[in-house]
């Protein structure tokens, strides 16, 4: 049945499925930020702003990744959305666990680590600006992109 489908058609479906999974993850975890903030009674404009940035990056990222799977901008934006949503829900869960329940909830340490996902989110967001619009840097600026990637990796590891 799949013998008629070429490898590229199967790969295209797999890449699109990955884009959908990343989008759903970012959207679900982003909405989890709102749920955690309601539980913490810390409703404010920052959670709504975080959700707006998260969903905007996720929507633009999935549109680009769906139509142009080889274009890195879609995957970069999906990565920003995933890391940014982890930041929000990880921070809220860590606050809820360690201040209200004294570290007794499961995955509290994971939430503390997820709270540090601001570093890769910001690093990827900056990378999006460096490779805009076609996904590659101009030849004279490639050293800047390489230096930025090294700096982003060190910064993320330090976080």
Radius of gyration of the chain (CA): 18
Distances in whole angstroms, Cα of residue 44 to Cα of each of 33, 35, 51, 56, 91: 12, 12, 12, 19, 15
> Would you say residue 105 has pLDDT above 80?
no
107, two tokens: 């995955």
The pLDDT assigned to 137 comes to: 77
> Would you say residue 114 has pLDDT above 50?
yes
8, two tokens: 């590229």
Give the pLDDT confidence of 9-27 residue by residue, as tens digits.
888 888 899 999 999 988 8
In whole angstroms, give the CA distance from residue 77 to residue 71.
Answer: 11
């Amino acid at each position: 049945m799949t013998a008629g489908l070429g490898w590229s058609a199967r790969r295209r479906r797999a890449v699109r499925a990955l884009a959908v999974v990343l989008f759903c993850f970012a959207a679900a975890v982003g909405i989890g930020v709102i749920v955690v903030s309601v539980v913490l009674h810390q409703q404010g404009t920052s959670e709504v702003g975080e959700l707006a940035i998260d969903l905007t990056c996720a929507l633009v990222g999935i549109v680009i990744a769906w139509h142009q799977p080889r274009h890195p901008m879609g995957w970069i934006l999906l990565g920003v959305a995933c890391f940014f949503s982890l930041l929000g829900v990880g921070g809220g869960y860590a606050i809820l666990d360690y201040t209200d329940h004294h570290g007794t909830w499961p995955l509290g340490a994971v939430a503390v680590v997820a709270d540090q996902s601001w570093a890769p989110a910001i690093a990827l967001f900056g990378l999006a600006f460096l490779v805009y619009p076609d996904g590659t840097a101009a030849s004279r600026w490639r050293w800047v992109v390489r230096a930025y990637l090294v700096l982003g990796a060190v910064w993320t590891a330090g976080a």
